[in-house]
Amino acid sequence: MDPPIRRFRIFGKQQSLHDLLGGGIAADVMLWRRRNVPIVILLGALAAWMLFYVSGYTFLSFASKVLLLLLTVLFIWAKAAAVLNRPPPPIPKMNLSKEAISEAAVFVGSYLNKLLSMFEDIALGKDPKLFYRVAFCLWLTSIIGGLTDLITLGYTGLVVVLTIPVLIEKYEDCIDRYMMQGYVQVQTCQRVYKENHTKVKNWITEKKKLI
């Protein structure tokens, strides 16, 4: 009698998808535990995509016009307040502390050092696996970049991030069942291949002996 087949779990027995995604606020948003946040993000991303892609605006021109309008309003407000003896616009004090600048510099510097170290390993041929991974990612990025623009790609990626994980969590049992069926089929094909390979190998060995 064949041993019972254990249930196939896509994320293992102990870890849930929420744990694999970090278990924090980002995981809550991606799994729609805080429904208002992903809805706002998707609507904002859709509005941005329509603004930049459909209307033909570029980010640089849009940001310049918004900053120009904001600075113009604040400048006129401040001048009018001085003439009319009114309080100036409530602008908070804009100043970065040395600690914040140091932390940001250390954070950015650590990642830059990792990238430079990876580049050095690839350039000197020290890590072939890393080279193949990076080359594949760059090749895939070039293909995707040739098919679409950066704005559409970013919007599509955001939609995927906010929809696929929650669908996987919702239909995890169904996905596990189909993956188990696929796993059994692969094991069956592998067993049949090994049996046929052994038979062919034995047949070739017998023919060689006869010769």
Quick: pLDDT tens for 144-160. Answer: 878 877 777 888 888 88
Provide the pLDDT for residue 1. 39
Q: CA nearest 168: which of 184, 153, 179, 154?
A: 179
Provide the residue ranges of all domains of the chain, joining segments of one domain with +: 1-94+150-170, 174-211
Provide the pLDDT for residue 68. 93
Mean pLDDT of the chain: 81
Give, in order, the Cα–Cα distances in Å from 164 to each of 27, 111, 169, 174: 12, 28, 9, 14
Quick: pLDDT tens for 74-103. Answer: 899 988 988 888 888 888 777 778 888 888
